[in-house]
Amino acid sequence: MSLPSTAKAMTFILTRDRDKAIPFYRDMLGFPLVSEDMFAAVFDLNGTMLRISTVETHHASPSTVLGWDVPDIKAAATALKEKGIEFNIYDGFGQDELGIWTSPASDARVAWFRDPDGNVLSLTEFR
């Protein structure tokens, strides 16, 4: 049996401190908080549900856990930087001053940043 055609994807992020995660995703990234209960804070990521659950022993992965396809990465990165978000700079990647990397294998441009728990998030522009 396969999933029904009406099944919608949703995603999960773990946090050690929901009181820091909520304002980051709501105020810094601009996503509406839909609900909150003892299990999770739920956000609407433009039609995709994000559930942020508290796990006191959570340790962030060094790899990207969530990303957004944006039409203009420079504008998006600039707007987030103006809100105080710092972009990750990786040795040897040759990123620009905003932290944007251009893939040598395609026309994709990517910039990475972290949420308050250190979860790696990304912006990608496919040209």
pTM above 0.75, yes or no: yes
Please check whether residue 51 is in contact with residue 34, taking contact to mean a CB–CB distance below 8 angstroms.
Answer: no
pLDDT in tens, 6-55: 999 999 999 999 999 999 999 999 999 999 999 999 999 999 999 999 99
Q: Which tokens is 20 given?
A: 């820091």
Q: Could you tell me the pLDDT band of residue 92, with boundaries at 50, 70 and 90? A: very high
Domains of the chain, first to last: 9-58 (3.10.180.10), 60-127 (3.10.180.10)
pLDDT band with cut points at 50, 70 and 90 for residue 1: confident
